[in-house]
Amino acid sequence: MIAGQRPTRVWAVLGLLLVAWFGLQLAPAHAATGDVEVMEVDASVDRDGALSVEQTMTFEGAPPAELTQRIATVENSVGDAQYRYEISEVTASADGQPLPVAVDDTGEAMVVTIPTEGVAGPVTLSYAVDGAVRTTPDGTMLHWRFLQGLSAPVDDVTVEVGVPGLFSYIDCASGPPNSPTKCVTSSGGTEETSQTPTFTDGPRAANEVVSIEIGFPAGLVSANENLEYRWSLARGFSAEPLPLGLATGLLLLGAIVVWVLHRRAGADLSAGERVERVAEFTPVADGAVDFTVTSDIRPGEVGTMADERVDPVDVLATVLDLAVRGHLRITELPHRSNYAPADWQLERREADTSELQAYERRLLDAVAPIGGEPTRVSQMNEKIADAIPQVQSELYDEMVGHGWYDQRPDSTRNKWQRAAVIGLVLSVALTAVLAIFTTFGMIGLALVIICLGLMFVAQEMPARTAKGAAALRGLNLLSDELHSRTTTELPKGRELEVISRVLPYAVVLGGANRWLDAMVAADDDEGVADSTDLDWFHGPEDWHLADLPDSLRHLLLTLAGVLFTRT
């Protein structure tokens, strides 16, 4: 019997152990020593929005050496907004006796430290909050985390909030700060006699929250929120309806103003059907045509008139024209070797200078002084380059002198460009200020775009007069002829003379290459050197007209480098 009873005893012992283990698992959990067993919060909100909080904490067993609570003074909202709270009147007590409190303001939170070692009975923490009542579409709302940042876990939380009248709604969320869920209970009557919303929750781990919202109808509780906005690029250049609408309106208005300025100061006046011819091809005997200059408009003026700017090519065409008209002779010097760079000399010739314009005379004196030795292009000094700005200035004066413009094109452009640059600088500065301190940075961007548009329009100024518009029409006709006119209809025996007069105009208006080819084709003694066949351009002894295109191309490039490098 004894041996048979042993298995029974073993099974009995195992059964008792299992019962004990399940009993431990199913038994209710108790807070650890030093944890808060019960937290009772008694709060009230006044009509002016002031919130007072009194939280009483009862510990399980002996309290910890100290208790810390971090009360946030900054709470992020939607977008770049944040709410800021002011915490004051922080006190602590135990059994009616005050406790020393250490308060540390970190800028984002008020850290309250209470020495609780050896304290008997519950500990009460009291404080006041300003800024907890926010504006809502239907009135106002109290929003506050009545449990937050506590260094000890809490088993049970009860919150009662006294309010000055009927509330609209209540809500309670608890748990980790970034992912709270609904509280255990939220209750509150709607009768005049029941004005104390009550909330319960727990257990809550250290640093978890119980966040409560209570809505009020308009006029019951005043909002005292302190809503601040953090700066960000998106906020500074907000696309909200007001700033975006103002910026769009300003941009449209600016576009209209810039367009009107362009029409008044940059668009040419109408010349009607009038055409002022500068030069043209006129029929002569036997179906041949001659090139006739019908006005005193020089090639350099033609180029300036065409694009409203004195370009290097305008000055170079003037040098070429002075040579063709007999004031200069250009001589290409023999090459020192096959690899040596070409060089030319400019020699002043005896000719009547009374017909010359002021800019022509100044340019002629610069490249070939009166009574001086022939000037080598390679040896031209900076004094010649120093004369170029004056030549360009006098060319602009000729534009006004001919009645093509009311004001010098360069001075008009400079005036508007200065205004645009000043406006651009101010607009950029204003944009920075608006973006940093407001949400209206878009307005500054609109001003920047307007100023950039003005800078572009300034390049198209000034407007030509009716006479200038008629002259431009004549230049366009001449340009078309230079590009399309056949080069084989020139008077026999006079091809070199006629093409020489055409070349300066073709240099500025286009088509120079085809006229140079025509000059090469006019060579009637192929194989024989043509070093002096042209009165205005001489070459080395073995030079041929076929060399003229390359000679002129190199000459103009070299002269441009010499005359404009220092300007």
The whole-number average pLDDT for the span 100-129 is 93
Residue 173 and residue 296 in one domain: no
| Confidence (pLDDT) at 21 | 44
**Pairing, β 81-84 against β 169-175:** unpaired
Q: Are residues 219 and 324 in the same domain?
A: no
**52: domain range?**
36-230
pLDDT at 323: 95
Highest mean pLDDT among 225-239, 460-474, 532-546: 532-546
The reply to whether 348 falls in a domain is: yes
pLDDT score, position 348: 93
Q: CA nearest 230: which of 442, 71, 429, 84?
A: 84
Same domain membership, residue 218 and residue 89: yes
pLDDT value, residue 26: 39
DSSP 151: S
pLDDT by residue (tens digit) across 202-261? 899 999 999 999 999 999 999 999 988 877 888 888 888 999 999 999 999 999 999 888
Place of tokens 């878009």: 442
In a domain, 178, yes or no: yes
pLDDT tens for each residue of 385-409: 788 889 999 999 998 998 888 888 8
pLDDT at 517: 92
Q: What is the pLDDT of residue 374?
A: 87
Looking at the structure, do residues 181 and 288 belong to the same domain, yes or no? no
**Same domain for 516 and 393?**
yes
Please, which pLDDT band fits residue 567 given cuts at 50, 70 and 90?
very low
> Among 83-92, 143-152, 229-238, 265-274, which stretch is predicted with the lowest mean pLDDT?
265-274
Last residue of a domain, one of 198, 230, 262: 230
d(CA 212, CA 55): 15
Say yes or no: 217 and 326 in one domain. no
Q: Which one of 189, 207, 230 terminates a domain?
A: 230
Return d(Cα 120, Cα 142) in angstroms, integer.
Answer: 34
Per the domain annotation, does 162 fall within a domain? yes
Q: What is the mean pLDDT of residues 123-133?
A: 96
- Whether 330 and 189 share a structural domain: no
- Furthest CA-CA distance within the chain: 157
Please give the backbone phi and psi of residue 495, each rounded to the nearest 5 degrees, phi first: -60, -45
Which pLDDT score, from 0 to 100, does residue 562 have?
A: 81
Give the whole-angstrom CA distance, residue 445 versus residue 428: 8
**Helices 382-401 and 299-307 sit at what angle, rounded to 10 degrees?**
70
| Rounded average pLDDT over 8-34 | 48
- Between helices 548-564 and 512-521, what is the axis angle to 10°? 140
Give CA–CA dist 250/271, Å, rounded: 35
Residue 422: how many other CB atoms lie within 10 Å: 11
Examine the domain organization and report whether 357 and 471 are in the same domain: yes
The reply to whether 238 falls in a domain is no
Residues 186 and 299 both lie in one domain: no
The string of DSSP codes covering 198-255 is EEEE--B-TT-EEEEEEEEETTTS-----EEE---HHHHB--SHHHHHHHHHHHHHHH
pLDDT at 9 (0 to 100): 53
Tens of pLDDT along 135-157? 999 999 999 999 999 999 999 99
Distances (CA, A) of 475 to 272, 293, 482: 16, 12, 10
Which uninterrupted H or E stretch holds 424? helix 409-437
**CB contact at 8 A, 32 and 60:** yes
399: in domain: yes
Residues 161 and 300 placed together within one structural domain of the fold: no
203 and 141 belong to one structural domain: yes
Classify residue 332: in a domain, yes or no.
Answer: yes
Rounded Cα gap, residues 19 and 16, in angstroms: 5
The pLDDT value recorded for residue 228 is 87
Residues in the chain: 567
Quote the radius of gyration of the chain (alpha carbons, Å).
48
Average pLDDT of every residue of the chain? 87
Nearest to 495 by CA among 539, 542, 538, 545: 545
- Highest mean pLDDT, choosing among 189-193, 239-243, 380-384: 239-243
What pLDDT is attached to residue 62? Answer: 86
- Specify if 431 maps to a domain: no
Residues 208 and 326 in one domain: no
Give pLDDT tens digits for 161-170.
999 999 999 9
Give the whole-angstrom CA distance, residue 251 versus residue 248: 5
Q: Look at the alpha carbons of 253, 254, 259, 263 in this order and tell me if their dihedral is positive or negative.
A: positive
Q: Is the pLDDT assigned to residue 173 strictly greater than 80?
A: yes
Which of 196, 230, 264 corresponds to the end of one domain?
A: 230
pLDDT of residue 43: 96
DSSP-based three-state secondary structure for 78: coil
Indicate which CATH number applies to the domain containing 66. 2.60.40.1730
- The number of folded domains in the chain is 2
**Residue 86 domain flag:** yes
